[in-house]
Amino acid sequence: MIDTIKVVLKNMSDAIPGALATAVVSINDGLSIAEDCRREGIDSAAASAFLASIVKSNYNAISLLAGDQLTEDILITTQDYYFIIRCLPDQPFFIFLMTEKGSWVGLARMVMEEYDSQFQQFASFLAENYLD
């Protein structure tokens, strides 16, 4: 099943110009369950652990500020990169994408949304095997 998830990540990355890394990550512990990395030197597994704390903090802040609103995604920008964290409703995992700064963020977000249903198909497998 993990190989199937990796294929979905690869297909999603192929559809996003400038994609450098993608991963399916457990929110609870930051475990990178599956990843697709396209540039040497990027440790998406290590980054995933830190990104999980951002997702948890975001959930707490949104709960305080906007009540029952659901986070769709979190965008982090640096001088050279975009980091998009796609949160799926009622799922204990998120999808992480790192792209080059020149990439079209709108297209990346749209493509990630198009893949939501494919990632949702893995939810029960991930919950049983990787997530608390």
Residue 7 has pLDDT above 60, yes or no: yes
Domain boundaries, the chain: 2-129
Fold of 2-129: Beta-Lactamase (3.30.450)
Q: Residue 56 above 60 pLDDT?
A: yes
Q: What's the whole-number mean pLDDT along residues 79-97?
A: 92
Across the strands, what pairs with 81?
A: 100
pTM, 2 dp:
0.89
pLDDT recorded at residue 97:
96
Dihedral (C-alpha) 132, 28, 11, 42: value to the nearest 10 degrees? -130
For residue 40, CA distances in Å to 9, 15, 43, 46, 105 come to: 17, 20, 8, 14, 22
What integer best gives the mean pLDDT of the chain? 89
Split at pLDDT 50, 70, 90, the class of 130 is: low
